[in-house]
Amino acid sequence: MEIYGYVRVSTKEQNEDRQMIAMREKQVPERNILLDKQSGKDFNRPMYQQMLKKIKQGDLLYIKSIDRLGRNYQEIQEQWRILTKEKGIDICVIDMPLLDTRQGKDLVGTFVSDIVLQVLSFVAENERTNIRQRQAEGIAAAKARGVWCGRIPAPLPNNFDDCYKRWKSGKITCANAARECGMPVSTFRYRAERYESMQ
């Protein structure tokens, strides 16, 4: 029997130390700890896919928490089925002792672990939805405060003020003003709106 550990963080900047410490405490060999630095929205992750190829019947897989496996409710359920039923391995979710397939192999034990898995999978996906909503709200709030989010725009050309004033007074068309500024009409209109708001 081989013992594996799967570790996941969502971005390269996030720290996996907490999960790695948990794997070492469970005496997972370093060579069998597989780490992905990728979103949990799906299972198209290189190290997870490599683990699927290596792992075999009778092996044991440790995961720190169910959201480290993934954050998609249906896919977590499907991957759990593939790992436990098709591959025939045991899984132990360290932070949730009820999700240890080595325990309670009887009908009641299986029933309880299935319910816990469904609840935690739902919570994991719901948290992903909440994270995205909080990000969108944070960006909207930052924009409302005048904090720029995203790419910094190129500086306005030196003749923008003159072109803008002539366009606003009806002396030239928007297309002519945009052409004189060396930008597409849509960009000129967008920059003109921002320019107006700062006047």
Q: Which of 107, 110, 74 is nearest to 90 (CA)?
A: 110
Cβ(149)–Cβ(173) below 8 Å: no
Q: Which of 82, 55, 58, 77 is nearest to 66 (CA)?
A: 77
More confident site: 168 or 115: 168
The span from the CA of 126 to the CA of 194, in Å, is 36
- Residue 26 has a pLDDT of 95
Determine the average pLDDT of the residues in 84-111.
79
182 band by pLDDT with thresholds 50, 70 and 90: very high
The span from the CA of 37 to the CA of 10, in Å, is 5
Determine the average pLDDT of the residues in 55-69.
92
110 band by pLDDT with thresholds 50, 70 and 90: low
The span from the CA of 134 to the CA of 71, in Å, is 16
- Residue 144 has a pLDDT of 73
DSSP 5: E
Cβ(68)–Cβ(19) below 8 Å: yes
The pTM of this model reads: 0.60
- Residue 128 has a pLDDT of 61
* Helical H segments across 145-173, by residue range: 160-168
DSSP 83: I
- Residue 148 has a pLDDT of 58
In the annotation, is 169 catalytic? no
Cβ(3)–Cβ(29) below 8 Å: yes
- Find the catalytic residue in 10, 121, 169, 186: 10
DSSP 33: E
Determine the average pLDDT of the residues in 75-82.
86
More confident site: 103 or 28: 28
- Residue 150 has a pLDDT of 63
- Residue 3 has a pLDDT of 97
The span from the CA of 72 to the CA of 45, in Å, is 14
pLDDT higher than threshold 70 for residue 13: yes
The span from the CA of 67 to the CA of 122, in Å, is 10
The span from the CA of 75 to the CA of 69, in Å, is 10
More confident site: 77 or 48: 48
When the pLDDT of each residue in the chain is averaged and rounded to a whole number, the result is: 83
Determine the average pLDDT of the residues in 47-56.
94
Cβ(46)–Cβ(16) below 8 Å: no
pLDDT higher than threshold 90 for residue 22: yes
198 band by pLDDT with thresholds 50, 70 and 90: low
Q: What's the pLDDT tens digit per position in 33-44?
A: 999 998 888 889
∠159-165-170 over CA atoms, to 5°? 125
pLDDT higher than threshold 90 for residue 56: yes
